[in-house]
Structure 1
């Protein structure tokens, strides 16, 4: 794997049967987008939807284009815990975690399965594309950030390559490998659970590989109904999770400096009348303050 590159792309024909794959979705008010995601999954695959107590219920399942197994939860477990539940109930030896607002492009899963045969135990990601076809890439975790200016452009990527971040929106892994890693850290309610999983995988010398020619279309941020109040809550939980992960790896940020930066961001956004940015920064500031309380959870109170 010289220079992080693995190959010139893997073959489209899988050496592993599609029936070996269980696809795990986690939903919360995702009824508007889950149909497209489920329809993109090959018919041979086992499909599991873990619904995190959506207020609208799970009636959407009856309108899906194919049979699925729905594990309806009495309360919102958080993303990672719901993924773990889906993984434990999976019938296949391989797990594909896919966001409800993401959809597999033709041949994507077959190419991922060919990569399993080629590379062995690994966390395998497809190329994740925005709705407009733009390549969505993040090469480092929150502990190992890679500035955008240092990231490879789409034109510079010649084949499959190793990276240091696994995107929770879409990745394939052997069930035994995922469970042996401990799955997602269930202390994390929402966001940065994939940073943590990637860090633990790398510590165990399990590579994270992007399979270039396997593609997923991701309508980011559309897995639940958007609203300013939701933006505030999400960013509050996101900051709680970031602080938790940083503390876990003994990289906690300066409280005073972070607090001052976020407070300034709230003021600037308010001056420019940008309500969305106000909610983002105010939510993060609230999450930062929350995590100063002993025993504070990363998710809802």
Structure 2
């Protein structure tokens, strides 16, 4: 059976792809996002626009300008995690694609993701090349990197976009523009709704690593990203609180036991160092509040940890190798893209 027939068998009566755009007070970026999505050269997809109970009715009005796309109006804000899981349940495609409402896809974006999936038929998770919308010569990210400090970052963030970018494995996909096999997403339990938003994609990617499921960067699949448009900016109180708390959640939950006594102290030291830098000092009270919130959430997270670690299929050493332990990678936000491993993926 050829690859296209396999895809058709996996989606009886449905499209190849379900694209999910989760909107919350997204404003004008949503219109631009949907216009770029409607202009895709690959057309075998359905689009779900999930309005997460935006107080501003403008998002719903914008979504209705695209009648070919299905608008789902939530009565409560489920966060990115809850709405993402909702999309997995509602969608009919074999592949589930997440696109931020402030991300603008090039016309061949979906086509390139599909092409990457055909080049790597045993891989079920892919991520995109993200450029800064304000300056497309700069990277917004080349997949997510996990440092030995337990601090994830978008590879290459704010650095010059190189002319040649290899297609290879990264630690985890960035939820702003990722594609995952919907069955795999559901098997892994989807996004952890306890995170609400921020780092839920890294948590999912970490669980994929623990399950032996790689993520591949498809550098020809390109989007331009504004970033944090719905949450008031990259360093808003909301973003700092949820980002900090959820990074602690990720360390508590996903780090295999042999690594935990190493990573947790390094994470604490890393957070203290970052918070002590002059530009971050105004956020120190928010970081402290987020740390205390992470401790209050420990009973729930530890229950999740037991479930996640019980399903782990790879060694702690394999996880350590998938991380970067070079502190210069973290401070310089260097991308870490590794060669696709044939012995792991069964590819020639």
TM-score > 0.5, shorter chain as reference: yes
Out of 3, 9, 33, which is 1:37 matched to?
33
Give runs of ≥4 in structure 1 deviating > 3 Å: 15-19, 144-149, 152-159, 223-228, 250-265, 277-282, 292-298
* Aligned equivalent of 1:115: 116
Counterpart contact for 2:116–2:218, Cα < 8 Å: yes
Whole-angstrom CA distance in 2 between matches of 1:188 and 1:163: 22
1:147–1:73 CA distance, 2 compared to 1 (3 A): closer
TM-score w.r.t. structure 1 length? Answer: 0.77
Instruction: Please tell me whether residue 105 in structure 1 is matched to residue 106 in structure 2.
Output: yes
Counterpart contact for 1:22–1:96, Cα < 8 Å: yes
TM-score w.r.t. structure 2 length? Answer: 0.68
Deviates further, 173-182 or 38-47: 38-47
Aligned residue-pair number: 272
* Aligned equivalent of 1:83: 84
Counterpart contact for 1:24–1:96, Cα < 8 Å: yes
Q: 1:158: how far off?
A: 4.8
Residues 45-80 of structure 1, C-alpha deviations (whole Å, 9 max, x = no match):
211122221111353245534432222222221211
Unaligned runs of 5+ in 1: 1-14, 270-276
1:130–1:163 CA distance, 2 compared to 1 (3 A): same
Instruction: Please tell me whether residue 20 in structure 1 is matched to residue 22 in structure 2.
Output: no
Unaligned runs of 5+ in 2: 1-5, 9-13, 302-348
Counterpart contact for 1:111–1:213, Cα < 8 Å: yes
Counterpart contact for 2:227–2:233, Cα < 8 Å: no
| Aligned 1:146-225 pairs, distance under 5 A | 154-155=161-162, 157-225=164-232
* Aligned equivalent of 2:48: 48
1:97–1:62 CA distance, 2 compared to 1 (3 A): closer
1:36–1:144 CA distance, 2 compared to 1 (3 A): same
Whole-angstrom CA distance in 2 between matches of 1:148 and 1:45: 28
Counterpart contact for 1:232–1:282, Cα < 8 Å: no
1:106–1:16 CA distance, 2 compared to 1 (3 A): farther
Counterpart contact for 2:231–2:239, Cα < 8 Å: no
Instruction: Please tell me whether residue 93 in structure 1 is matched to residue 100 in structure 2.
Output: no
Secondary structure of the residue aligned to 1:56 is coil
1:256–1:46 CA distance, 2 compared to 1 (3 A): closer
RMSD of equivalent CA atoms: 3.3
Residues 173-223 of structure 1, C-alpha deviations (whole Å, 9 max, x = no match):
121121112111111112111111111112222121111111111111223
